Homo-oligomer: A and B are copies of this chain.
């Protein structure tokens, strides 16, 4: 996007943070660690002005910066999580909204840890085809399916006000929704979402949240694999690009204090489609952020 590199300076309201990490244990779809590289590469296509939404230079209004990638070794979970949290905390402390680019879904946990340090009463809004609130075994506590289990157990987010939206498809064990709900979360399947409509669903969430700080976690596999083929766990029947954009735009008025867009997995991508769409969604999110912060002209 051509953002200036560096840590947020005073007045900066948003900072990109690449998280080139995946757990490295999938037998044949590893590679989300390359997500930040490819999302940035595709962001060359991003332009700054949106004639009907925001016909101004949103990136300048936000004073947005690109804080680079967290220095870490993919596959070394414990060490990486410490580094990710620290890097995100540096941004959070400045008051800028960190926008993480994954990396697999596991990176949301250290990012939420950093956000929760500052924002009390944090609520999660998780847009994903999976809840990632699965049970775990002691020797496999951290992976890309348990970050919301851990987030709830650590008290990082208030599970009773946090929602998982877009859940669909098959999964590797039974009882997943029960476990998720048992942690306190609300689950909106994609069928629920489409039946109620985006605006109505988000309005209900907004009422629940009541102005509290929100962590927005967007897993790119909420899109259909025909739209975003380069994800870790493709699930057919997902959102079109237009629906995803509409859903994101509907989040107006929320007090989003941190976010991440995860799960772009370039080795499985086709011509950079998932990475390209991810960079578009981040640009949409920046416009949303500017609007929510009251930075846009009337």
Contact = CB atoms under 8 A, between A and B. Distances in A.
A269 to B, nearest CB: 8
Interface string A85-113: 00000000000000000000000000000
Contacts of A26: 74
Contact of A234 (B31, B55, B276): B276
Give the oligomeric copy count: 6
A210 interface: no
Interface in A49-84: 49-52, 55-57, 73-76
Contacts of A28: 33-34, 37, 44
B273 A189 contact: no
Contact of A236 (B30, B270, B277): B277
Given A45-B234, A271-B229, A276-B225, A24 B27 contact: no
A233 interface: yes
A24 B169 contact: no
A189 B53 CA distance: 12
Q: Which of A20, A25, A44, A241 is packed against the most chain B CB atoms within 10 Å?
A: A241
A48 interface: yes
Interface stretch (A116-124, A173-181, A195-203): A173-181
A46 interface: yes
A45 to B, nearest CB: 7
Given A73-B25, A227-B226, A47 B172 contact: yes
A234 B234 CA distance: 23
Interface in A213-258: 224-227, 229, 233-234, 236-238, 240-242, 245
Interface in A137-194: 167, 169-177, 189, 191
Interface residues of A, number: 64
Contacts of A51: 167, 171, 174, 176-177
Contact of A242 (B30, B237, B241): B237
A84 to B, nearest CB: 15
Interface of A: 20, 23-31, 33-34, 37, 44-52, 55-57, 73-76, 167, 169-177, 189, 191, 224-227, 229, 233-234, 236-238, 240-242, 245, 267-268, 270-271, 273, 276-277, 280, 283
24 contacts: A25-B76, A26-B74, A27-B34, A27-B73, A28-B44, A47-B169, A48-B170, A49-B173, A49-B176, A52-B177, A55-B174, A226-B241, A226-B273, A229-B270, A234-B276, A236-B241, A236-B242, A236-B280, A237-B241, A237-B242, A238-B241, A238-B242, A267-B267, A270-B270
